[in-house]
């Protein structure tokens, strides 16, 4: 069983892949199961219970609205962000919900969505339980799901196997570790992007893969553009003002560019994406929403500032970046609730560093070196979002992660790929560090900046 590049890069909506997209997917899946079991028409009430990190930071991460939208049958990739507010207003004022878009039921949100902040389901900190009841109060269906980061969702029995490897496709070049990936590339004489593309051929025709990757790149660029044009204050109690539009204006109007102008633009690209994410806009999960700005920022830097950059380079970047993301997903986790921010911004930085080297036609060994550097200097990075919002430190952290990724690629490109710490070793270290990290630093808003900075 295997992962695809389209599992790592997904078109979705903000602000969180684990706390917004995952719960939306889980709610939609639960309703789909009611349809499959032919009991949707018998369902007259649905109860949702949220546990652990989902309950602790879910309000700031919009988990409640995601669940409501998922119960109505919406999916993150097709949902028009502009319809979110009117849909929620209808549900909340009418106290009626259209289960699966068709079965209208009473829905009393304070009673039907319960937040268990002091309880954790056994499989993962991001647990959910959905219950369907008939008109006489009989329970006709109940299921628990876990949101494991990056929009992935699993039932308890799927956690160890299916969730990390959602497809049963047989790949020509399977790999479980960076060492295996490099060995297979060496044995076949393939560049890493060629190897990954050959694997993708097992999922779908090549033209569809290329088209999907171009679409992902296009959504990333649109997100930056929207972030530059939008104005005002981001949603939530912090009243954070968007910075990307002003920075864009300053950089565009500057008469004498600073020697650090490329870095200024990288900051602007990352801020633009993550401000859009914080506002619930359309983003590419890469590999999570909290870290969604790093790869678009580094890719846009590549296209604008690297001589000889090309559309083919963008494809190489995305293919190789996804392979690096798969290694973290398979051997550790990309969930802030499990790993802290090293699992989100750290992983995106590592993916972007390796992806940039691929775009610049570096060797397979230099790619592995860059990806390792990208994570090594994010080890221990905690997750402590103030007020549970994906804003502080998240937005600015993406700018820092993007700059760090470019620097990691530059360090790697100056060497020949030989180095002391391997990517596999740093992934294992990240996992162990995440396991050792206190839960207050793992997307619970119970430590760090979240408790030392007043919310308003």
Q: Considering only residues 435 through 454, tell me which ones interact with ligand SF4, judged by CB under 6 A.
A: 443
Spatial separation of the C-alpha atoms in residues 204 and 317, rounded to whole Å: 20
105 in contact with ligand SF4 (CB under 6 A): no
Minimum separation from the CB atom of position 277 to ligand SF4 (A)? 9
Collapsing DSSP states into helix, strand and coil, what is residue 444? coil
Q: Cβ closer to ligand SF4: 26 or 345?
A: 345
| Pair of tokens at residue 228 | 């530059």
DSSP conformational letter for 417: S
* Farthest-apart Cα atoms in the chain, separation: 73
With CB under 6 A as the contact rule, the residue among 315, 345, 359, 437 that binds ligand SF4 is 345
**What SS3 class is residue 28?**
helix
Half-sphere exposure of 286 (CA within 13 A, CB side): 35
Q: Closest approach of Cβ 245 to ligand SF4, in Å? A: 21
According to the binding rule CB under 6 A, does residue 341 interact with ligand SF4?
yes
What's the min distance (Å) between Cβ of 291 and ligand SF4? 6
Binding mask 291-310 for ligand SF4 (x = CB under 6 A): x-------------------
Alpha helices in 279-344 (DSSP H): 294-305, 311-331, 336-339
Helix (H) or strand (E) holding 435: helix 423-436
Specify the residue, 318 or 390, whose C-beta has the smaller distance to ligand SF4: 390
Q: Give the nearer residue to ligand SF4 in terms of CB position, either 162 or 429.
A: 429
Q: Whose CA is closest to 342, among 265, 290, 295, 293?
A: 290
Provide the token pair at 354: 């390796």
- Total of chain residues touching ligand SF4, rule CB under 6 A: 13
DSSP 68-104: HHHHTT--TTT--GGGHHHHHHHHHHHTEEEETTTEE
Cβ-closest position to ligand SF4 = 290
What are 442's strand-pairing partners?
A: 383
Given 390, 399, 413, 437, the residue binding ligand SF4 (CB under 6 A): 390
405 lies in the binding site for ligand SF4 (CB under 6 A) = no
**Between 293 and 362, whose beta carbon lies closer to ligand SF4?**
293
Tokens encoding 437: 């990290």
- The count of other CB atoms within 10 Å of the CB of residue 244 is 26
Q: Which stretch binds ligand SF4 (CB under 6 A): 166-174, 231-239, 317-325, 336-344?
A: 336-344
Q: Give the residue, chosen from 220, 383, 405, 437, that forms a contact with ligand SF4 under the rule CB under 6 A.
A: 383
Find the shortest distance in angstroms from Cβ 39 to ligand SF4.
Answer: 36
393 binds ligand SF4 per the rule CB under 6 A? yes
Nearer to ligand SF4, 73 or 388 (CB): 388
**Least Cβ distance, residue 388 to ligand SF4 (angstroms):** 8
Tell me how crowded residue 109 is: count the other CB atoms within 10 A of its CB. 15
441-444-446 Cα angle (round to 5): 70
| Interface contacts to ligand SF4, rule CB under 6 A | 290-291, 336, 341, 344-345, 383, 385, 390, 393-394, 397, 443
């Amino acid at each position: 069983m295997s992962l695809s590049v389209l599992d790592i890069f997904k078109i979705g909506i903000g602000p969180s892949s684990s706390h917004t997209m995952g719960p939306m997917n889980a709610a939609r899946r639960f309703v789909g199961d009611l349809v499959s079991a032919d009991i949707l028409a018998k369902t007259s009430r649905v109860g949702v219970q949220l546990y652990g990190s989902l309950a602790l930071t879910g309000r700031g991460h919009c988990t409640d609205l995601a669940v409501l939208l998922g119960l109505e049958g919406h999916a993150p990739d097709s949902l028009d962000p502009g319809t979110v507010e009117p849909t929620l207003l209808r549900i909340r004022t009418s106290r009626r919900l259209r289960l699966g878009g068709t079965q209208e039921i009473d829905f009393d949100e304070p009673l039907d969505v319960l937040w268990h902040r002091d309880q954790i389901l056994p499989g993962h900190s991001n647990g959910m339980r959905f219950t369907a009841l008939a008109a006489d109060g009989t329970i006709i269906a109940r299921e628990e799901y876990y949101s494991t980061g990056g929009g992935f969702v699993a039932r308890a029995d799927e956690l160890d196997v299916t969730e990390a490897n959602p497809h049963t496709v047989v790949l020509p070049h399977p790999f479980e570790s960076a060492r295996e990936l490099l060995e297979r590339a060496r044995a076949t004489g393939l560049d890493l992007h060629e190897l990954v593309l050959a694997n993708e051929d097992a999922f779908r025709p090549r033209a569809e893969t290329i088209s999907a990757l171009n679409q992902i790149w296009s959504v990333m660029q649109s997100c930056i553009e929207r972030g530059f044009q939008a104005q005002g204050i981001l949603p939530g109690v912090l009243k954070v003002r968007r910075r990307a539009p002003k920075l864009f204006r300053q950089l565009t109007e500057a008469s004498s560019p600073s020697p650090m102008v490329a870095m200024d633009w990288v900051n602007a690209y990352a801020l633009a994406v993550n401000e859009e994410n914080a506002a619930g806009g359309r983003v590419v999960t890469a590999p999570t929403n909290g870290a969604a700005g790093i790869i678009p920022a580094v890719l846009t830097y590549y296209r604008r500032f690297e001589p000889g950059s090309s559309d083919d380079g963008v494809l190489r970047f995305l293919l190789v970046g996804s392979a690096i993301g798969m290694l973290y997903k398979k051997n550790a986790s990309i969930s802030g609730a499990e790993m802290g921010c090293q699992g989100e911004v750290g992983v995106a930085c590592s993916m972007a560093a390796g992806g940039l080297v691929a775009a610049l036609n570096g060797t397979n060994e230099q790619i592995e070196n860059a990806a390792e550097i990208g994570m090594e200097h994010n080890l221990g990075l905690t997750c402590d979002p103030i007020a549970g919002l994906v804003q502080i430190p998240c937005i600015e952290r993406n700018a820092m992660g993007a700059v760090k990724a470019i620097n990691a690629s530059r360090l790697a490109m100056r060497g020949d790929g030989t180095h002391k710490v391997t990517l596999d070793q740093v992934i294992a270290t990240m996992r162990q560090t995440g396991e050792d990290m206190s839960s207050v630093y793992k997307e619970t808003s119970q430590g760090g900046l979240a408790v030392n900075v007043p919310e308003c």
